[in-house]
Amino acid sequence: MYFLEFNNGVEIPQIGLGMASVGSWQQDDEYVKEVVLKAMAIGYRHFDTASVYGNERALGRAIKESGLPREELFITSKVWDTEQGGKKTHDAFARSLERLQLEYLDLYLVHWPVPAYTRETWEAMEALYQQRKVRALGLSNFRKSDIEQIASFAEVPPVCNQIELHPYFTQQPLVDYCQFHKIAICCRSPLGAGSIFKAVEKEARPDVDPVIVQIAERYSVTAIQVILRWNIQQHRVVLPKSEVLDHILSNFLLSEFNLSNADIQAINNLNCNKRFGGDPDFVRKRNMMMKVPD
C-alpha cells in the first residue's frame, strides 16, 4: 500500500475507494455494505464518502462488521453546500459521525466552494480539528481563488484539494499551485468515467485511448491500472469507484510495474481540458437543490 504525508504529518493511503453512487445515488443498504467489506478483504483501508452520497450508514456498518482496528482505517467525509456555515457545519459533522458510528474522522472536506460561507464553514471545521474530532481538514473542487480566500484567514491550512483529474483533464496550473502550497491532490473521477449524473460513453474515455492502451500492453496490465499508476507516481491520491470484485482487486494491485518518465509525459500530453463532472463555476444552484438524506 502506498501512503502520502499531508502537511500536518497525517498519512493517507494513496488508493481509496470512492463511494459516490455505489449501487445507485444515495443507496444505503446491505449491497453497499458488502461492496465495502469486499474492498476491505482485498486490503483497502481508505474510504471516501460524503453526507450527500447518502451511504455513510452502510460504510459505518461495514467498519463495525469488519472487525478492523479503527486506527488502520482512513475515513473521509464532506460537508455539503446546504450544510455550510457555522453551527450548520458543526451539526452536519455530528450527523456524519453518528451515521458512521465513529468517534472521529481522518479527513473532513468542504465539498464545493460556497465563498459567502467559506470563512464560517472553515472556522467551524477548525474548531472540530482543535477538539481532535478530525485529524485533517481539506477542500474539494476548490479553484485557485477559493484557496486564496481560505489562506487569507485560516489558522489550520488545508491538507488537500479533491478535484476532477484524469488524462483528459489534468488541471496542471491548479495542481502546480496546490503542490507549491503543500496542498496534496486527491483525484476524483481518476478514470474519466463521468459523474454521478452522467456516465461517459466508453469510446470517449481515457482508458480506451490508444496511447494508454499501448502503454498497458507493454507492461501487460490494464489501461485503468496505467492511469492509476500515472497518478500514484506523481504523488496524488486516487479514488476509483468500483463494485465488481475483479475490478476492485485490479485497481488495488499497482505494485507490479513502474511507468517511465516518457510514459508519464505521453499521458500528460493527452490533456484536452475535457471536464466530465461538475464545474465549480456553475454547480451552485444545482447543488443547493440537492438534499442530504437523514
Catalytic member of 53, 108, 117, 168: 53
- Per-position b or e across 64-83, b if 16+ CB within 10 A of its CB: eebeeeeeebbbbbbbbbbb
**DSSP code, position 186:** E
Could you give the CA distance from residue 209 to residue 214 in angstroms, rounded to a whole number? Answer: 9
- Please state, in angstroms and as integers, the Cα–Cα distance from residue 74 to each residue in 80, 148, 260, 284, following that order: 20, 27, 30, 29
Q: Determine whether 126 is exposed, middle or buried from the number of CB atoms within 10 Å of its CB (0-12, 13-18, 19+).
A: middle
CB 211 within 8 A of CB 240: no
- 53: annotated active-site residue: yes
Which residue shows C-alpha cell 464553514?
A: 121
Tell me the catalytic residues: 53
